[in-house]
């Protein structure tokens, strides 16, 4: 690990106006170090996705500062945000978001249309253990395999940061653990900063840092000196 890569300072995101105004994110501050595996934990409606979407450059804060890798994301215009998303962030979604008419290899290779210097899709599929499945369509793969394809796709642009909103949410516990293990490997062995949103407190036991949210606020930030291995966790 080497230095702070993400810093939220007094970030607010409101929706609506007047009486209907709601603070989805209410003066949130935290820092994340490079190479950390971070879990943002909290119940439904806590503001987790809103935080992650702002970090991913898909939404903008109403107030406050978001610094990522030396850049002030909060003041970027749409074109700058597009470059930022392309260069810095790999996205993993709860329901994988693969294109059904494309093979595993083709889904990963699509990244090359968006990003210069994309990595070799076959290398990325090998990294997630799916070389044998390169010619399969999403419907021919299990949920866990599809999620691994989506991780290979996220890694293909060689991002500094991987973000996932409930990346194991649609998987059974055994498959979810495999995916979680892969994400932890990416942070600890490939020095990716991995940030995962979940309401599953057991996943948080494996994290280097846990940011616990409630009602739009950060309630607690915990640093695990000795995070559990995936094998040690039951859920």
Ligand X SMILES: Nc1ncnc2c1ncn2[C@@H]1O[C@H](COP(=O)(O)OP(=O)(O)OP(=O)(O)O)[C@@H](O)[C@H]1O
Q: Contact residues for Mg ion (CB under 5 A)?
A: 49
Based on CB atoms, which residue is closest to Mg ion, 130 or 213? 213
Smallest gap, in angstroms, from Cβ of residue 61 to ligand X? 13
| DSSP-assigned letter for residue 112 | H
The single residue listed with the structure tokens 């690990």 is: 1
Nearest CA to 56 among 155, 135, 162?
A: 162
Nearest CA to 48 among 180, 166, 152?
A: 166
Q: Which does 23 bind (CB under 5 to 8 A by kind): ligand X, Mg ion, none?
A: none
Smallest gap, in angstroms, from Cβ of residue 127 to ligand X? 29
Q: Which does 24 bind (CB under 5 to 8 A by kind): Mg ion, ligand X, none?
A: ligand X
Largest CA distance in the chain: 56
Q: Which does 200 bind (CB under 5 to 8 A by kind): Mg ion, ligand X, none?
A: none
Smallest gap, in angstroms, from Cβ of residue 55 to ligand X? 12
Strands (E), the chain: 4-15, 22-33, 37-41, 63-68, 71-72, 89-92, 161-165, 193-198, 209-214, 217-223
Based on CB atoms, which residue is closest to ligand X, 125 or 210? 210
* Contact residues for ligand X, defined by CB under 6 A: 15, 22, 24, 42, 44-50, 199
Based on CB atoms, which residue is closest to ligand X, 166 or 208? 166
Based on CB atoms, which residue is closest to ligand X, 52 or 125? 52
Instruction: Describe the strand order of the beta sheet including 63-68 as a list of residue ranges.
Output: 22-33, 4-15, 63-68, 71-72
Based on CB atoms, which residue is closest to ligand X, 81 or 102? 81
HSE of 24 in the Cβ direction (CA atoms, 13 Å)? Answer: 20
Q: Which does 50 bind (CB under 5 to 8 A by kind): Mg ion, ligand X, none?
A: ligand X
Smallest gap, in angstroms, from Cβ of residue 52 to ligand X? 8
């Amino acid at each position: 690990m080497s230095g702070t890569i993400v810093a939220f300072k007094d970030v607010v995101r409101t929706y609506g106006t007047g009486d209907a105004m709601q603070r989805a994110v209410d003066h949130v501050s935290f820092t994340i170090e490079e190479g950390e595996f971070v879990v943002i934990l909290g119940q439904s409606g806590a503001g987790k996705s809103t935080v992650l979407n702002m970090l991913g450059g898909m939404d903008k804060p109403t107030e406050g500062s978001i610094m990522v890798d030396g850049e002030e994301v909060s003041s970027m215009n749409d074109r700058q945000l597009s470059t930022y998303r392309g260069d810095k962030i790999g996205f993993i979604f709860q329901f994988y978001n693969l294109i059904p008419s494309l093979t595993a290899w083709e889904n990963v290779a699509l990244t090359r249309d968006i990003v210069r210097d994309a990595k070799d899709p076959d290398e990325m599929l090998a990294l997630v253990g799916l070389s044998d499945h390169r010619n399969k369509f999403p419907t021919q793969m299990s949920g866990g395999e599809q999620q691994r394809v989506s991780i290979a796709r996220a890694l293909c642009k060689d991002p500094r940061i991987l973000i996932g909103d409930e990346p194991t949410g649609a998987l059974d516990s055994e498959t979810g653990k495999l995916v979680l293990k892969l994400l932890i490997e990416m942070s600890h062995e490939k020095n990716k900063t991995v940030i995962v949103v979940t309401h599953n407190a057991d996943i948080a036991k494996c994290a280097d840092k846990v940011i616990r949210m409630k009602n739009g606020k950060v309630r607690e930030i915990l640093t695990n000196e000795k995070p559990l291995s995936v094998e040690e966790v039951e859920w």
